[in-house]
Amino acid sequence: MITIRGDMLEGGGQILRLSTALATLIGEPIRIVRVRGKRRPPGLRRQHMTALKVLASLCNGQVEGLRLGSTEVFFKPGDIRGGSYRFDVGTAGSVSLILQAAMPVMVFAPAPVRLRLRGGTNNPMAPPVDYLERVLLEDLRLMGVEALLRVYRRGFYPRGGGEVEVQTQPSRRLKPIMLQELGRILEVRGLVYSCRLPSHIADRMASSASERLRRIGLNPVFEKEVLQPGNPKCSLDPGCGILLSIKHSHGFLGVDNLGVKGKRAEVVGSEAAEQLIKLVEGGYPVDRHLCDQLIVWMALADGVSRIKTIELTLHALTCIELTKTILKAELKIEGDLGRPAVIECRGIGYEK
């Protein structure tokens, strides 16, 4: 049995989600102690409980300690299976973070999987679902992952209520990925979205981002999604945000920014643009979100992957430690925490 301390490194819910997903893949029982030990309060919240329920359903697994505030969890996985599943977080807890744990298991199911989640789609503490759809899944396709994501309704804090569905096809073995340099820029795209807010807010976010990007020769093509009550995709609570993405000759990268009450729309847009400019001018093909999300896939792939990121985060270091401990993958880091880094991983060539 594997035992993992939930207060190591990042010390949050990521340890619970990722370690349980990896244990599911290799079919090993796992115990996580001191769950979310560096959070206040520690222990399970609703979104973490939902992630465990999703993983248990995907493999007919058994869970002990599945209650609010629990600081110790035992998970015994069964056989991974396909099928259709539906879960409701019950809060604005991020569905993106649940999908990060579920997707590696879904992809290696022996049959297609359809997973529908209800909760927060655009959350300040997690990548938005739009990032998963337009950046992460695009890069994973280069590795051989077949997955589609559709947003049925947006969900913002405090009530959530967003709905997202992901469909996956079975994969036998993943190819490694090489993102060592920013390739030739082929497309720059933007998405601005708002719910229950005046339409000029989305226009101003797009305009300010475009103006800043054009100064360095980037000409983004924007999609605007302005939703009001009556539209089935409109959220229960007001909210807005922006996603900027680049397709280059080696892959995809992106940045996002969520609107905050009291912050001008122009600032939201220009802040996102500045993040993208730093990536482009530094020649970094991997943004800080993409780095920690790719590590588990690199560890599962057959061969050597290598990525260059603008920032080595504590989340990324946590992912690295867990994949080394549970999957026995070989990873090397050139760089320091909070600084640019190159990560090399010799994957285990996982196949189900």
* Active site amino acids: 315
- Of all residues in the chain, what percent are helix, strand and coil, respectively (each to 5)? 35, 30, 40
Could you tell me which residues are beta bridge partners of residue 258?
241
Cis peptide before 124 (omega within 30 of 0): no
Taking the C-alpha atoms of residue 53 and residue 61, their distance in angstroms, rounded to an integer, is 9
Looking only at the bridges linking them, the beta strands covering 113-119 and 162-168 are antiparallel
For residues 339 and 288, the answer to whether their CB atoms sit within 8 Å is no
- Residue 61 carries which DSSP code? -
Of 56, 109, 104, 62, the C-alpha closest to 81 is 109
198's CB contacts (< 8 A; 6+ apart) are: none
For residues 55 and 102, the answer to whether their CB atoms sit within 8 Å is yes
